[in-house]
Amino acid sequence: MPVDRATSQAWLIWSTAVVVYVAALFHRTSLGVAGLEAADRFHVGPAALSTFTVLQIGLYALMQIPTGLLVDRFGARRVLVAAALLMGVGQVMFALASSYPLGLGARAVLGIGDAMTWVSVLRLAAAHFPPRRFTVVMSLSAALGGAGNLVATVPLTLLLASTGWTATFLIAGVATAAYSAVVAWRVREVPHGVTQPPVEPVPLRTVAKRVVSAWSVPGTRLGFWVHFASMSTPAMLGLLWGFPYLVEAQGMSRPDASAVLSLLVVVGIVAGPLIGAVIARKPEWRMPIVGCYLGAALVGWAVLLGWPGGVLPPGVLAVVFGVLAVGGPTSGVAFALVRDYNPLHRVSTATGVANVGGFAAITFTAFAVGVVLDLTEGLPVAQAYRIAFLAVVSVLVLGVWRTAVWWRRARAEVFAAEERGEQVPVQLRRRRWDVLAEA
């Protein structure tokens, strides 16, 4: 049963859990400013370098539905403990790896641990906070996660320069693994006084049916494509290719490039709670906000790729990166949609399905950029990046198209439910395009 108020214990449990998510964002994005060092350490080119991110994010995407099932079966507390241990071990392995295969293995372990964090934090938020607070807590969790991303920009650049590769990542890995003990001690599955219902193992056939049922809901499909379209661009830049692009194609110094890259985080931290508060009070504004961001993102990419000569003024780069950064907070709309349009017993599965969208897009774009950069070797660096980033724009255009399609279909489903006399989570007003679509 949902709780009716947020207690101090709920905030303590949530804050303990969200630290694991902060660590996950740090580990996930640490290669963003360490990519050039990784290329030198492992003696690899752009395509092989992108494989680090492709492997890590690909495993993250593949693990989303299994993670939802693990949380349902074993509870968010145990899954978060396992996540902290796996991320810690993976980062220690990465610190000590001296060969490319060992580095890949380390990032794979990191990706599996990272994949277990977000769904677990959302489950704890749903268990300990009333429904009206869920969207705000979710947005606050994502914004605080940006603190881990922020540490992985300028501070990590300076730390790598002063202490070196091995010491930097070794400290991060050991600290994360040690924090698993704090999670095991502090986190509780349900509020004090509430009995946790027993959970039976879910047969594989039932799992498949649950996934199919979640995917058949227009709200889930819409959530998938919202996440696909809005999250992929800022994450791709922050995870791997933003820093090399700023240094190699735009001629920035490493500290200046780190400062621009940190805008992806700072803007997300500021915009996340604001967007969360707006969509909590005005849920009918969720998709208009998504539409405005996607339009602004297309304009931003047009500026990056169409600027004469390919080298942009630092101020313009900062503005474009700041605009693209809003995609991270905007992607949270996907989880609000999933929560509204799926029954409670299927929310975790549907959340995993929607979460796959953005990470599938990141996996493709990160790898495609690396391959194109290898193929365009010999061209001016700025031109090579402009060609490579066409893959990112293509994915964005696909996401915009599919989001528009499922936005219309989801609205039609809401209107049909209202006509049947059913209760709907959000009251929508018919627009001209709804009438034309029905005709």
CA distance 78 to 197: 16
Token pair 């074993």: residue? 74
SS3 labels along 288-304: HHHHHHHHHHHHHHHHH
Instruction: Judge whether residue 149 has pLDDT over 70.
Output: yes
Pick the CATH number of 8-189+222-438 from 3.40.190.290, 1.20.1250.20, 2.30.290.10, 2.60.40.10: 1.20.1250.20
Q: What is the pLDDT of residues 280-307, one digit of tens each?
A: 788 888 899 999 999 999 999 999 999 9
Q: Look at residue 245 in the predicted model and tell me its pLDDT.
A: 92
N residues, the chain: 439
Query: Is residue 30 within 8 Å of 150, Cβ to Cβ?
Result: no
Q: What is the pLDDT of residues 178-237, one digit of tens each?
A: 999 999 999 888 776 666 655 556 666 777 787 888 888 898 999 999 999 998 888 888
Total Cβ atoms within 10 A of residue 12 = 14
Query: Is residue 55 within 8 Å of 111, Cβ to Cβ?
Result: yes
* Nearest in space to 279 (alpha carbons), one of 290, 269, 268: 290
Q: What is the pLDDT of residues 114-135, one digit of tens each?
A: 999 988 998 888 788 886 777 7
SS3 labels along the chain: CCCCCCCHHHHHHHHHHHHHHHHHHHHHHCHHHHHHHHHHHHCCCHHHHHHHHHHHHHHHHHCHHHHHHHHHHHCHHHHHHHHHHHHHHHHHHHHHCCCHHHHHHHHHHHHHHHHCHHHHHHHHHHHHCCHHHHHHHHHHHHHHHHHHHHHCCHHHHHHHHHHCHHHHHHHHHHHHHHHHHHHHHHCCCCCCCCCCCCCCCCCHHHHHHHHHHHHCCHHHHHHHHHHHHHHHHHHHHHHHHHHHHHHHHCCCCHHHHHHHHHHHHHHHHHHHHHHHHHHHHCHHHHHHHHHHHHHHHHHHHHHHHHCCCCCCCHHHHHHHHHHHHCHHHHCCHHHHHHHHHCCHHHHHHHHHHHHHHHHHHHHHHHHHHHHHHHHCECECHHHHHHHHCHHHHHHHHHHHHHHHHHHHHHHHHHHHHHHCCCCCCCCCCCCHHHHHHHC
Residue 106's identity, in one-letter code, is: A
Sign of the dihedral defined by the CA atoms of residues 81, 83, 86, 87, in that order: negative
Token pair 């300028």: residue? 154
Query: Is residue 128 within 8 Å of 3, Cβ to Cβ?
Result: yes
Instruction: Judge whether residue 259 has pLDDT over 50.
Output: yes
Total Cβ atoms within 10 A of residue 340 = 18
Beta bridge partners of 377: 379
Instruction: Judge whether residue 439 has pLDDT over 50.
Output: no
Can you give the pTM of this predicted structure?
Answer: 0.79
The residue-averaged pLDDT of 387-411 equals: 93
Residue 379 dihedral angles phi and psi, to the nearest 5°: -80, 160
Token pair 């650049």: residue? 157
Query: Is residue 395 within 8 Å of 361, Cβ to Cβ?
Result: yes
How many CA atoms lie within 13 Å of 168's alpha carbon, on the beta-carbon side? Answer: 20
Total Cβ atoms within 10 A of residue 227 = 30
Q: Where in the chain are the domains?
A: 8-189+222-438
Please report which confidence band the pLDDT of residue 240 belongs to, taking 50, 70 and 90 as the band edges.
Answer: confident
* Nearest in space to 369 (alpha carbons), one of 252, 233, 253: 233
Segment among 90-104, 151-165, 175-189, 410-424 with least mean pLDDT: 410-424
Q: What is the pLDDT of residues 3-55, one digit of tens each?
A: 566 688 889 999 999 999 999 988 888 887 787 788 888 988 887 888 888 88
Please report which confidence band the pLDDT of residue 434 belongs to, taking 50, 70 and 90 as the band edges.
Answer: low
Q: Look at residue 423 in the predicted model and tell me its pLDDT.
A: 67
Instruction: Judge whether residue 425 has pLDDT over 90.
Output: no
How close are the terminal C-alpha atoms of the chain, in Å?
A: 42
Most confident of 1-5, 235-239, 389-393, 409-413: 389-393
